[in-house]
């Protein structure tokens, strides 16, 4: 049981004294970057879906 207590104590010390936490401004910039990247990726996937849907629809109407 002492090992668990020591682990928790060391984890707390590392989180409070050794970890460099981002500033509020850095956090906002990172959040905006992730949001923009997610929107771009979603638009690319949407575009691919539309193109493939169009191609399949055209193929199936020409075959039938």
Q: How far apart are CA 59 and CA 34, in angstroms?
A: 37
Q: How far apart are CA 31 and CA 53, in angstroms?
A: 33
Sequential pLDDT tens for the chain (64 residues) = 778 999 999 999 999 999 899 999 999 999 999 999 999 999 999 999 999 999 999 999 998 6
Structure confidence at residue 55 (pLDDT): 97
Spell out the domain ranges in the chain. Answer: 22-64
Q: How far apart are CA 40 and CA 44, in angstroms?
A: 6
For the entire predicted model, the pTM comes to 0.68
């Amino acid at each position: 049981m002492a090992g668990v207590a020591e682990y928790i104590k060391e984890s707390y010390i590392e989180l409070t004294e050794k970890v460099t936490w981002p500033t509020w401004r850095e956090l906002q910039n990172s959040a905006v970057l992730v949001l923009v990247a997610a929107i771009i990726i979603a638009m690319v996937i949407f575009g691919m879906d539309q193109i493939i849907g169009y191609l399949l629809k055209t193929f199936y109407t020409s075959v039938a």
